[in-house]
Structure 1
Amino acid sequence: MLPPKSVLITGASRGLGLEFVKQFLQVPTPPEFLFATCRNPDNAKELQEVAKSNSSITIMKLDVSEMNTIEEAKKLVESKVGAGGLNLLINNAGINKKVTLETVTPDMMLDTFNINVNGPLFTTKAFLPLLLQAARSSTPSNPSSAIVNMSSIMSSIARTVTSDAVEYRVSKSALNMLTKILHNELKDKGIHVGCLHPGWVQTDMGTAKAPVTVSQSVCGCIQVMSNMNAENACVLTDYTGNPLPW
């Protein structure tokens, strides 16, 4: 998959998304277009600092729960990439309210699904024409167009032994199903679709107790993306490249 000429990352203002931006700038052939999206670009101070010295970065407003921002972002990306299309979409934005069966509410479930499932679905749908444009030069062994959904080991039904984070677990399992549906739809159109478990990472969501640094996680994820092919694309894979049970 690598090196992609154009990359779009959702949730790029902090955590894994921000680190993806930083590390894509460090690959041997960095993207010509690196679209870093977030809900509030004006508040994304660290991202803005990174962008000051890197003309390839375009910071854009994209709230995955608001269709109008997705459509506006798509128009801007299209105006920049032209006929080359979009090579890589990383659906990274997500939320974990960490609620239990006792504390979960209908609104919590709906809000989490809207961000963790509808967000990747409708972001992908909006950018699909640009991904298809890039896919014209794809081959089974060397894809030039891909979608990566950031999932979690907490989505794995086989590995679930606790009842915490009800809304997060269920939504990420739904995201896995969405990944499979997209794979079935797009595999013969030159677009690989995969989902990654980034590990238990030292982010606001993962907390400082997590054993994996943001840098380690993203470095591993990019390596996994670089090895995506027709056989291993639609597999829940961790940041070290190990497949995980659905």
Structure 2
Amino acid sequence: MLPPRSVLITGASRGLGLEFVKQFLQVPSPPEFLFATCRNPDSAKELQEVAKSNPSVTVLKLDVNEINTIEEAKKAVESKVGDKGLNLLLNNAGVNKKASLEEVTPAMMLDTYNTNVNGPLFTTKAFLPFLLRAAESSSPSEPSSAVVNISSIMSSIELNEKTDAYDYRPSKTALNMLCKLLHNELKDKGVHVGCLHPGWVQTDMGTTKAPLTISQSVCGCLQVMSKMKAENACVLTDYTGKPLPW
């Protein structure tokens, strides 16, 4: 899959998203177009600094909960990629309120589901025409077009023995089903769909207790993406390439 000519990353202002931007710029053949999207570009100071020193990076406003911002970003992307389309959509934006049974509310569930499931779905739907354009020149076994969703081991029904994150766990399980649906829809059209567990990472969401640095996680995820094939695309995989049970 790697290196792609063009990449779009959601939730790129901090954490994993920002590190994906930085590490894509360091691969031997970095993307010609790297669209780093976030809810509030004006306050994304570190991302803006990266963009200033890297002309391939375009910072765009895209809030996965607001369809109008997705459509505006779509126009900006099309103006740059043209007929060659978009090679990689990385659905990274997500939220985890870590709600217990006592704490969880209907509003909390809806907000988490909107970000973690509806966000990737409608972002993918919007950019699908561009992904299909990029796929036209590739074979199904050697994709030049892919959607990668950042999922979590916390989505696994088989592995779960906890009673926490009533908002987050079900939303990521639903995201896995979305991955499967999109895979079924697009596998014969040259667009591969994958879902990655980045590990327990030292981000705002993962906290400082996590064993993995952001750099280690993203480095592993890029290696997994580079080996994405038809037979391993729609598999919940961790950052080391290990398949995980649904």
TM-score by length of 1: 0.99
What is the alpha-carbon distance in structure 2 between the residues aligned to residue 161 and residue 138 of structure 1? 42
Match of 1:217 in 2: 217
Match of 1:45 in 2: 45
Q: CA deviation at 1:141?
A: 3.1
AA aligned to 1:245 is: P
Match of 2:200 in 1: 200
Match of 2:2 in 1: 2
What is the alpha-carbon distance in structure 2 between the residues aligned to residue 71 and residue 182 of structure 1? 20
What is the alpha-carbon distance in structure 2 between the residues aligned to residue 194 and residue 44 of structure 1? 28
Matched ranges for 1:81-230 at <5 A: 81-230=81-230
Matched ranges for 1:16-27 at <5 A: 16-27=16-27
DSSP 3-state at the match of 1:215: helix
What is the alpha-carbon distance in structure 2 between the residues aligned to residue 237 and residue 69 of structure 1? 30
State whether residues 140 and 189 of structure 2, in contact with CA within 8 Å, keep that contact through their aligned partners in structure 1. Answer: no
TM-score by length of 2: 0.99
Aligned residues: 246
AA aligned to 2:139 is: T
AA aligned to 1:144 is: S
Q: CA deviation at 1:142?
A: 1.7
What is the alpha-carbon distance in structure 1 between the residues aligned to residue 134 and residue 18 of structure 2? 24
Q: CA deviation at 1:140?
A: 3.0
State whether residues 236 and 244 of structure 2, in contact with CA within 8 Å, keep that contact through their aligned partners in structure 1. Answer: yes
Q: Percent identity at matched positions?
A: 81
What is the alpha-carbon distance in structure 1 between the residues aligned to residue 28 and residue 139 of structure 2? 22
What is the alpha-carbon distance in structure 1 between the residues aligned to residue 46 and residue 164 of structure 2? 32
AA aligned to 1:35 is: F
What is the alpha-carbon distance in structure 1 between the residues aligned to residue 147 and residue 53 of structure 2? 27
Structure 1 segments unaligned to the other structure (5+ residues) = none
Q: CA deviation at 1:30?
A: 0.1
Q: CA deviation at 1:137?
A: 1.4
What is the alpha-carbon distance in structure 2 between the residues aligned to residue 97 and residue 58 of structure 1? 30
What is the alpha-carbon distance in structure 2 between the residues aligned to residue 77 and residue 192 of structure 1? 20
What is the alpha-carbon distance in structure 1 between the residues aligned to residue 125 and residue 81 of structure 2? 17
Structure 2 segments unaligned to the other structure (5+ residues) = none
Deviation readout 1:85-144 (Å, 9 max, x if unpaired): 000000000000000111100000000000000000000000000000000112233210
AA aligned to 1:235 is: V
Let me know the Cα RMSD of the aligned residues: 0.5
DSSP 3-state at the match of 2:211: coil
What is the alpha-carbon distance in structure 2 between the residues aligned to residue 139 and residue 210 of structure 1? 39
Please state if 1:64 is matched with 2:64: yes
Deviation readout 1:2-51 (Å, 9 max, x if unpaired): 11000000000000000000000000000000000000000000001111
What is the alpha-carbon distance in structure 1 between the residues aligned to residue 102 and residue 110 of structure 2? 17
What is the alpha-carbon distance in structure 1 between the residues aligned to residue 151 and residue 137 of structure 2? 28
AA aligned to 1:4 is: P
DSSP 3-state at the match of 1:141: coil
Q: CA deviation at 1:163?
A: 1.0
What is the alpha-carbon distance in structure 1 between the residues aligned to residue 131 and residue 167 of structure 2? 30
Please state if 1:34 is matched with 2:34: yes
AA aligned to 1:163 is: T
